[in-house]
Amino acid sequence: MAEPHGAKFADPELPDLDLSRAALFLDFDGTLVDLADTPSGVAVPSGMPDLMRRLDAATDGRLVIVTGRPISVVSQFLGGYEGNVIGCHGAEERYDGETNPHPLAESDVVHRLGDMVEAFAATHEGLIAERKPTGVVLHFRQVPEQEPDAYAFLHALETAHEDFDLHHSKMAYELRPKGISKDASIKRMMKTAAFAGRCPVFFGDDVTDEPALEWVAGQQDGLAVKVGPGETGANYRLPEPAAVRDQLELWLED
Ligand SMILES: [Mg+2]
């Protein structure tokens, strides 16, 4: 009989964690909540806002949501969450109640790129354009066969706009300002007085999370947790968002 999947290559169980000594970085989509067919379609469990409040308290304000979404959108999904966020992959940051947008946020060039990608999506059934304060995403989750067209269009825009880079994420392509990434933001935050000396913890599911997962796994006492299947530089793995929420509850009980 074939071995059940995972029996042979079991991932190590996550260790106990003293949250008062941790800096807890959490991706949102695919990590705290299951992915949905459309960006607005995610279902947020009713206990999530309370879970975030308790984690924020237990870490004494060192909880940071690290997401590709705008801060305003993820805050709304989390029931009016007012805590720390690295948003738009690092193009926006909110720390201690203060928001620092990227210089290109809501700029003319971003609006123009948004218009062009929206017009393209409008003539290609199933493609979805998602505007962000600092860029634009083209989702092809509903029409995977259109990936080459989506890529070709955004690649042409990237070539014509030298301040922007093209990024590939799960079933989507995204244009955002150069030099921006989740790992760059996490590394910078870990150097600030408030975070230095804390044990870095990061949960993420996507290819765009890999540089940060690898970096955290290489830090002393760093806990990098890959959510779901796929190759990773993380040192731990959980199968799905429900398991992430259970793990966080477990650490809160300790
Ligand atoms: Mg994700």
Q: How far is the CA of 87 from the centre of ligand 1 (A)?
A: 12
If you measure from the C-alpha of residue 2 to the centroid of ligand 1, how many angstroms do you get, rounded to a whole number? 32
CA–centroid distance, 1 to ligand 1, in Å, is: 35
pLDDT tens-digit readout, 25-83: 999 999 999 999 888 899 999 999 999 999 999 999 999 999 999 999 999 999 999 99
- Calculate how far, in angstroms, residue 209's C-alpha sits from the geometric centre of ligand 1: 7
Structure confidence by residue, pLDDT tens digits, 151-184: 999 999 999 999 999 999 889 999 999 988 999 9
Q: Write out the chain in H/E/C secondary structure.
A: CCCCCCCCCCCCCCCCCCHHHEEEEECCECCCECCCCCHHHCCCCCCHHHHHHHHHHHCCCCEEEECCCCHHHHHHHCCCCCCEEEEHHHCEEEECCEEEECCCCCCHHHHHHHHHHHHHHHCCCCCEEEEECCEEEEECCCCHHHHHHHHHHHHHHHHHCCCEEEEEECCEEEEEECCCCHHHHHHHHHHCCCCCCCEEEEEECCHHHHHHHHHHHCCCCCEEEEECCCCCCCCEEECCHHHHHHHHHHHHHC
Domain ranges of the chain: 22-102+180-253, 108-177
Distance 233 CA to ligand 1 centre (A): 16
11: pLDDT strictly greater than 90? no
pLDDT band at 247 (very low <50, low <70, confident <90, very high): very high
pLDDT for 85-121, tens place per residue? 999 999 899 999 999 888 888 999 999 999 999 999 9
Kindly report the three-state secondary structure assignment for every residue of 126-187.
CCEEEEECCEEEEECCCCHHHHHHHHHHHHHHHHHCCCEEEEEECCEEEEEECCCCHHHHHH
Residue 1 has pLDDT above 50, yes or no: no
Does 5 have pLDDT greater than 50?
Answer: no
Find, among 221, 238, 174, 206, the residue nearest to 29 by Cα.
206
Measured in Å, residue 34 CA sits from the centre of ligand 1 at: 9
Q: Please report, for residues 195, 212, 235, the alpha-carbon distance to residue 217 in angstroms, rounded to integers and kept in the order given.
A: 17, 8, 6
Quickly count: other Cβ atoms within 10 Å of residue 96's Cβ.
8
pLDDT at 7 over 60: no
Residue entry with tokens 């083209």? 138
Domain boundaries 22-102+180-253, CATH class: alpha beta
Q: Ligand 1 mean position to 93 CA, how many Å?
A: 17
Question: Cα-flanking dihedrals φ and ψ of residue 225, to 5°?
Answer: -120, 115
Q: Could you tell me the CATH superfamily of domain 108-177?
A: Trehalose-6-phosphate phosphatase related protein; domain 2 (3.30.70.1020)
| β pairing state of 223-227 and 199-204 | parallel
**Å from CA of 195 to ligand 1 middle:** 23
Catalytic positions are: 27
- Give the tokens for residue 247: 């793990």
